[in-house]
A and B are shown apart, each in its own frame.
Chain A
């Protein structure tokens, strides 16, 4: 009886791929699942803003400036009479979109540079890694501010390019070290020996095994990119001031009087950013934990 049960369990265990185990672990991680739901809801609300709110985010209304929450406006209005609740959703659209686009751009650059450097080694690796070290030597935020000030007039696309161009270094190093250790496995030699081109070996054989690392890096990057965008917009080097974004909504709070008396102007975007980052971090932790064979859950 017991033996039969054991055999059954073993069979069941064999059927599970690492991915399905990870999926199950993630599903049972309450904190990560709540965070995921929160992130999906906040993203959905941001992208469906026109259907949720009746206000135009750009409508300036002199008669209703600096209104407190209530008074016909759910979260009050800002100094130019714009509805904060509406701005919050439209701002989320800008900030999340920039975050996601930058994340994809950065992780692509990092994967390409990391896997080429790790797979080929030798002088290719040396050149690419010295270049990575060189970019890393600059203080990230200062470099971004200086570059962004050059392209200040060029708008959101320039901001995305600047952010992506400067933040791939850490992830590239991680991918490289992972590819280097993966390359030593025999399946790579087997794939090469039957005539697989380097491109094919990297794409079909190595990358699937490095994927978990890449996903974890991507979640971390998403949080970093959203923080970078909002911080830049806050000090006036990010999204053009007319476009609603979480960072732009808070620029008014650079005046201490606004911080003191008009908390409803800066607190909603501040909380939105914090909870978004918090949920992304929990999701990242959950994914890391789910793919860790040592963790029991």
Chain B
């Protein structure tokens, strides 16, 4: 297992290098560069612009520019955001906790919902309750997250008035107090619910089918023959086997949450990393765009690595290859 883990991590290094090249190349191709934020907008004389370009190193050959950017990265320097007038590192540092809170909450909601719905549907297959859960599942799989977000805001925020429609609940309360945390959780619940919807539906489906399949297996028949209580059979024997495969999918959850967060955060104007990416692209704040894009790509990479490693833990055959 150790050798497998080490090998998987070593493979990451060239991939990371290539990812950084792609991010850099795309950032170069995007409209706007470091120059657009740092010059005096009143002064448009070509000599001045040329001088600034020279000073910022934008006239250097591309590989030298890349080398400079990459060296800065390795020293944890992501440049400066001109719209926010602060270092990108501290800007991301301010936004990241919000996104992490959103992701963790979304994962918790997903696991809890999928666990109970999947267990119920698996224990009572082909009943009314099962069909209801299946119907909800199909709807959750079909409805795009941004559409679901609009409906959620319309119903839960405006019709029922249960949750705030926008914001991340950071302002208004003294940080660290209970009211502050409650406000944050209150603001995060709705986006987290919508964000986890797709994964919830697929896990519920998976758990249901796995429980139904397992309940026909020999070890369950043996347990029944020994007179084990039906509750114990489901909770102790079947559920333990059915939950393991879901745990291995944890890595892929990270990747799917990252993609979804960009859109969900934008709709709920939730001050997280995804919202930062969209606003920085719209403001042509290239230093921020590059840093966030790279960060999200690396997070996806780590998610995939985690998925592989967890799979190796569960299924020893994977490690041998």
- The residues of A with any CB-CB pair to B shorter than 8 Å are 134, 136-143, 145-147, 149-150, 152, 223, 227, 230-231, 234-237, 250, 253-254, 256, 259-260, 263, 266, 270, 273-274, 277-278, 281-282
Name the B residues within 8 Å of A139 (CB-CB).
255, 258-259, 296-297, 299-300
A149 proximity list for chain B (CB < 8 A): 30-31, 281
A70 to chain B, nearest CB (A): 20
Residue of A nearest to B257 (CB): A139
B154 close to A259 (CB less than 8 A): yes
**Majority SS of interface residues in chain A?**
helix
B212 CB to nearest A CB, Å: 15
Contact A137 to B263, CB < 8 A, known contacts A274-B142, A274-B144, A278-B139: no
Does B248 lie at the interface of the complex (its beta carbon under 8 Å from any beta carbon of A)? Answer: no
Contact A231 B146 (CB under 8 A): yes
| A270 contacts B147, C-beta separation under 8 Å | yes
Question: Known pairs A139-B296, A259-B150, A259-B153. 5 more at Cβ < 8 A?
Answer: A137-B297, A138-B22, A231-B144, A235-B263, A250-B146
Residue of B with least CB distance to A277: B142
Question: A270 touches which one: B150, B289, B296 (CB < 8 A)?
Answer: B150
Cα distance, A162 to B147, chains bound together (Å): 23
Q: Determine whether the beta carbon of A263 is less than 8 Å from that of B154.
A: yes
Q: Is the CB of B300 within 8 A of A137?
A: yes
B166 within 8 A of partner (CB)? yes
On whether the beta carbons of A273 and B147 are closer than 8 Å, the reply is yes
A-B contacts, 15 of them at CB < 8 A, read A138-B300, A139-B296, A142-B262, A143-B297, A145-B262, A146-B30, A230-B146, A235-B262, A250-B150, A256-B153, A256-B157, A263-B154, A274-B142, A274-B143, A274-B144
- Min CB distance, A127 to chain B, in Å? 14
Cβ-defined contact, A145 with B278, below 8 A: yes
Q: Which residues of B239-274 have CB atoms within 8 Å of chain A's CB atoms?
A: 255, 258-260, 262-263, 266-267
Q: Does B182 contact A (CB under 8 A)?
A: no
Asked if B278 and A235 make an inter-chain contact with CB atoms under 8 angstroms apart, the answer reads: yes
| Interface bits B126-167 vs A (CB < 8 Å: 1, else 0) | 000000000000110111111100110110011000000110
Question: Interface size for chain B: under 10, 10 to 19, 20 to 34, or 35 or more residues?
Answer: 35 or more
A145-B278, A259-B153, A270-B147 are contacts. A278–B142 as well, Cβ < 8 Å?
yes
Interface check B293, CB cutoff 8 A: yes
Q: From B154, which residue of chain A is reached at the shortest CB distance?
A: A259
A142 touches B154 (CB 8 A): no
Q: Are A142 and B143 in contact (CB under 8 A)?
A: no
- Chain A residues with CB under 8 Å of B139's CB are 274, 278
Q: Is the CB of A145 within 8 A of B277?
A: yes
B313 CB to closest chain A CB, in angstroms?
21
Residue of B nearest to A271 (CB): B147
In the assembled complex, the Cα of A134 lies from the Cα of B297 at a distance in Å of 11
The one of B19, B146, B147 that contacts A137, using a Cβ cutoff of 8 Å: B19
Contact between chains at A253 and B301 (CB < 8 Å): no
Which residues does chain B contribute within 8 Å of A234, judged by CB atoms?
A: 146, 263
What's the least CB distance linking A219 to chain B, in Å? 13
Closest 5 CB pairs of A and B: A141-B259, A278-B142, A277-B142, A260-B158, A227-B144
Give Cα A234 to B166, complex, Å: 17
Contact B146 A146 (CB under 8 A): no
Which residues of chain B come closer than 8 Å to A143, judged between CB atoms?
297
B151 & A270 in contact (Cβ 8 Å cutoff): yes
Shortest CB-to-CB span from A92 to chain B, Å, is 15
| B94 interface hit (Cβ, 8 Å) | no
The CA-CA distance from A260 to B260 in the complex, in Å, is: 23
In the bound complex, do residue B263 and residue A146 qualify as a contact, i.e. CB atoms below 8 Å apart? no
Contact A254 B293 (CB under 8 A): no
For the complex, give the distance between the alpha carbons of A55 and B300 in Å: 46
Contact A254 B267 (CB under 8 A): yes
- Are B153 and A273 interface neighbours, CB within 8 A? no
Assuming the contacts A139-B296, A260-B154, A266-B150, asked whether A281 and B263 have C-beta atoms less than 8 A apart, the reply is no
Nearest-CB residue, chain B, relative to A276: B142
Say whether B143 contacts A141, CB under 8 Å. Answer: no
Q: Does B15 contact A (CB under 8 A)?
A: yes
Report which of A137, A141, A259, A270 forms a contact with B304, defined as CB distance below 8 A.
A137
Q: Which residue of A lies closest to B268 (CB)?
A: A256
- Assess the A142–B258 pair: CB atoms within 8 A: yes
Partner of A138, one of B19, B146, B153: B19
